Structures are given as structure tokens and as C-alpha cells.
């Protein structure tokens, strides 16, 4: 079972499509939150600032020399990604945010990500 999980993770992490979707989700959240901020939706400003900051963190060319720092950076990025998706979901469920088109894009990307992962695992 462990060998299958390792192979699946290597296959998914090497897929450019999965990497693109994972990177597109914070960008879509940032766009939706900025649009909501412009329409004065409560809570959208903080979400927009964190999403934009996280997008900047993802594109920074910081590659530490020590393996431990590389692993810490990777774990930090994964935790921030999960927190951002959780904060977005809480924002959408807690209020009826405007504009709805931005949040539909995020929801669609969140639906497409696991569907794409399943297809990639089966096609291999």
C-alpha cells in the first residue's frame, strides 16, 4: 500500500496540469476576494490581502540551500494553501459574497482538481 501511495504522489506531483490547478486556485481566490473588496463585502479585504501575499510567496525564487529549510518552506506553503481554501470556504458559506462569478471560478477549480487527479491516476 505504501509503494502505491508513493507512486501516486510522484505521478501527481510531476503532473504539470495538477501543479497548474494548485497554483491557479490561490490566484482565483485573490481575484474573487479583490472583486468582493471593491464591492465592500465584509471579510473580503483580509482574504484578498492574504491571497495576494500567498501568490507572491509562491512565485518568489527563494530556494534555500539546506534541505531542512526547503522542507519547512514546502510544509509552510501547503499549510497556507489549505488555510486559504478553508478561509475562502468559510467566507462563502458565512455570507453571500459578491460578485458571485469570482467564487464560481474558485468552486469550479476546486471541483476540477480532484477529478483531474483521479483521471491522471487512472491514465497513469
Instruction: Determine the pLDDT at residue 15.
Output: 75
Model pLDDT for residues 64-113, shown as the tens digit of each residue: 888 888 888 889 999 999 999 999 999 988 777 777 888 899 999 999 99
SS3 percent helix, strand, coil of the chain, rounded to 5, is 85, 0, 15
pLDDT of residue 124: 73
Give the count of domains, the chain: 1
Domain containing 56 equals 2-123
- Has residue 1 got a pLDDT over 70? no
Mean per-residue pLDDT of the chain: 88
Mean of the pLDDT values across residues 9-21?
A: 83
Amino acid at each position: 500500500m505504501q509503494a502505491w501511495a508513493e507512486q501516486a504522489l510522484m505521478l501527481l506531483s510531476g503532473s504539470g496540469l495538477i501543479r497548474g490547478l494548485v497554483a491557479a486556485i490561490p490566484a482565483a481566490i485573490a481575484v474573487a476576494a479583490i472583486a468582493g473588496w471593491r464591492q465592500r463585502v465584509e471579510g473580503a479585504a483580509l482574504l484578498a490581502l492574504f491571497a495576494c501575499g500567498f501568490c507572491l510567496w509562491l512565485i518568489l525564487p527563494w530556494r534555500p540551500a539546506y534541505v531542512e529549510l526547503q522542507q519547512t518552506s514546502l510544509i509552510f506553503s501547503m499549510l497556507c494553501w489549505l488555510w486559504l481554501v478553508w478561509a475562502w470556504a468559510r467566507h462563502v458559506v458565512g455570507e453571500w459574497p459578491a460578485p458571485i462569478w469570482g467564487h464560481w471560478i474558485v468552486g469550479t477549480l476546486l471541483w476540477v482538481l480532484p477529478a483531474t487527479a483521479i483521471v491522471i491516476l487512472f491514465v497513469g
